[in-house]
A = this chain, B = another copy of it.
Amino acid sequence: MVKEVIGKFLNEINSAKNFSFLLVIATTDVSLIPGLTIAGATPELTHFTPAADAEFLMLGKCKVINTVPVTPDGIPTPALISRASLSFLKISKTIVNAGSKITPNLPFIDLGGKPGGDIRKQSLDKSTAEKIIQNGIILGDELSNSYDLLVIGESIPAGTTTAMAVLEALGYNAIDKMSSASPNNPKELKSKIVKEALKDLPTSLIDKLAKVSDPMLLGVAGISIGFKGKILLAGGTQMCAAAAIIKEIENTKIHDIGIGTTKWIINDKTADIISLAKDLGVNLLYSDLDFSISKYEGIRVYEKGYVKEGVGAGGSSILAMLKANINNKDLVDKIDSMYSELLIR
């Protein structure tokens, strides 16, 4: 079931005729900071996660690593939810590389970006930041000829930290509102890193973004600005940062945008996506998933706050529920079946 929190974006999705799914991937060196992210079995492996997520989403198997990305506890990537959801639909999926240390072994669109550095020093040079946005705009504009709705997911380890920095840099109060893939949100560490990153913040928008943004957020913002239809930003609190960049560059565009996420993000007591979305004036909706009925512990632990969102899981499940009329049980059965295939290998 899909539930609406802010706005009327359900109508927009229901009336869309031609839709497509984009996964924007990137890495930064922020994910190498120990204790910050569980989007990979070790900090070093986090650089492989976006490419592996892209491969699993498209092909059902990973090439850059032997298994699907897992947390240090072995909990599988939310790409499983996205692949299962999209399997109910006739939809084309496109991988967009905004700047990744490791690139996937499949055809992908390149925005000409670079991996981000450590935001405590400098994430990107200004010309790269501009290029990612500009190429995103060209791509979004071109996709307008084929689609009236884009669903845009992301995969970038430590992305909630860079997103927090972007929101703060753009004047929002985000320090206490960002989710985490871990049930133990490392909020103190995140806020320490962000505060250090925001010291000596430059004044112009592009300089601010080059300093603290990750490449994914710039790519998602560019594509959304260039696209002429409606956009479902498929992600959690990170997508509030993408929405903030969009609003900064083209204020009225915010009305064409909805953030589509999962129940676990909405219910995350360590964060507050609803307050962020209200501050932005952006539509917000979520899929009311219940993984307690799964056969597998690795899936049931989502109910305990593990992983929560990512690789467009929320938006994909929203799309499948609205466009293929599936319910929670259909989806969990499909996820269980895909997961069982992974366990056999």
Contacts and interface: CB of A to CB of B under 8 A. Distances in A.
A147 B20 CA distance: 12
A27 to B, nearest CB: 17
Interface of A: 18, 20, 58-59, 90-94, 96, 105-112, 135-136, 138-139, 142-147
Contacts of A111: 107
Nearest to A59: B138
A164 B307 CA distance: 54
Contacts of A90: 145
A48 to B, nearest CB: 17
Given A92-B143, A107-B110, 15 more contacts: A18-B18, A59-B138, A90-B145, A92-B144, A93-B142, A93-B145, A105-B112, A106-B138, A107-B109, A107-B112, A107-B135, A107-B136, A109-B109, A109-B110, A146-B146
Contacts of A110: 107-110
A94 B142 contact: yes
Instruction: Quickly give the copy total for this chain.
Output: 2
A142 B109 contact: no
B91 A145 contact: yes
Nearest to A219: B107
Contacts of A59: 138
A229 to B, nearest CB: 12
Given A138-B58, A138-B59, A20 B146 contact: yes
Contacts of A147: 146
Contact of A142 (B18, B58, B144, B145): B58
Contacts of A107: 96, 109-112, 135-136, 138-139
A110 B59 CA distance: 17
Contacts of A112: 105, 107
A126 to B, nearest CB: 16
Nearest to A21: B145
A153 to B, nearest CB: 15
